[in-house]
């Protein structure tokens, strides 16, 4: 039980630290800052996996319940969503295509092997 409480306290403290940094001028969302702090602490060994493993497992097992308020909120805003459906779908489509195109072009650029020059082929033949 102590491991669970300790892990939850660490996760909440890191999340609140990220929010505090954001509130004091860092232009990155607090949740993202918290994840970066968590990653940095794990990477450097300041934070041990065994300290948060049990709490993280609990949160992951019950993650579906954390989305219930979002779903209820969306159902409550049905009228607004139906009036703005075209704009929402258009922005989803454009953003999806932009991400797809950017990812594909970046992958092609990063994974494309360098073409061999004709001088390099000539040296290999001799």
Q: Are 27 and 20 in contact (CB under 8 A)?
A: no
Copy the structure tokens of residue 29.
């969302």
- The residue with tokens 């219930």 is 68
The span from the CA of 6 to the CA of 53, in Å, is 10
- The residue with tokens 């890191």 is 14
**pLDDT tens column, 47-71:** 999 999 999 999 888 888 877 887 7
**pLDDT tens column, 7-48:** 999 999 999 999 999 999 999 999 999 999 999 999 999 999
């Amino acid at each position: 039980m102590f491991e669970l409480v300790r892990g939850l306290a660490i996760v909440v403290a890191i999340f609140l630290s990220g929010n505090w940094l954001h509130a004091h001028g860092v232009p990155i969302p607090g949740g993202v800052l918290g994840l970066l702090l968590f990653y940095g602490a794990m990477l450097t060994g300041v934070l041990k996996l065994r300290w948060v493993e049990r709490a993280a497992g609990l949160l992951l097992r019950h993650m579906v319940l954390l989305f219930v308020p979002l779903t209820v909120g969306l159902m409550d805003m049905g009228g607004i969503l139906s009036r703005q459906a075209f704009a929402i779908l258009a922005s989803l489509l454009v953003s999806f295509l932009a991400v797809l195109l950017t990812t594909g072009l970046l992958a092609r650029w990063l994974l494309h092997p360098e073409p061999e020059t004709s001088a390099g082929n000539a040296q290999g033949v001799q």
